[in-house]
Amino acid sequence: MTPTLIWILVALVAIGLYLSWTAGRLDRLHARIDATRAGLDAQLLRRASVAQELATSGVLDPAASIVLYEAAHAARQAEEEQREVAESDLSQALRAVFAEPAQVDAVREAPGGEAAAHELTEAVRRVPMARRFHNDAVGAARRLRQHRKVRWFRLAGHAPFPMAFEMDDEPPAALVDRAA
């Protein structure tokens, strides 16, 4: 074997190892996206469930109960294409219902209300964190998938292009202020 052939083989093996490492990294990022999406779905479901439970508890006035229940129900039943809009509507309903600190105080004073308010506060605090983790993972995968080597060698396989979850997740100020 000539030295040139050996160097060509070494270069091909090095390129193959690098591409294999990149494909593995991309696969791990896609697995991370799946895990963070499952965590986000769990937090969104928890928030909707707590809101629905609070709406049916009789602690809120009837108009606030109806608004909150319908938004929470719509968020739980939304199809994947409409999920971001439904979750944003739930965030807006939570802000509307808990716009006044007096409403939060009324919930806390009811029997079992302190626990319900605490659970809702925790749920609305965790949603933005879960969404941020998911969108960070999506951003990392997108940046890697945009490299030429990934596109040219089709290292992503048939995996769909990752999509961020964009929604209004601002918590009600009165609810978060009381918890702090």
CA-nearest of 19, 23, 17, 15 to 158 is: 23
CB atoms within 10 A of CB 153: 12
Phi, psi of 154 (to 5 degrees): 50, 50
CA atoms 26, 27, 31, 33: torsion sign: positive
- Please, what's the b/e burial string for 81-115 (b: 16 or more CB within 10 A of its CB; e: otherwise)? eeebebbbbbbebbbebbeeeebbebbeebeebee
Q: Which residue has the higher pLDDT, 162 or 1?
A: 162
Tens of pLDDT along 103-112?
888 889 988 8
The answer to whether residue 68 scores a pLDDT higher than 90 is yes
pLDDT in tens, 3-41: 999 999 999 999 999 999 999 999 999 999 999 999 999
Q: What is the pTM of this model?
A: 0.90
List of residues 6+ apart from 107 with CB closer than 8 A = 54, 59, 60, 113, 116, 117
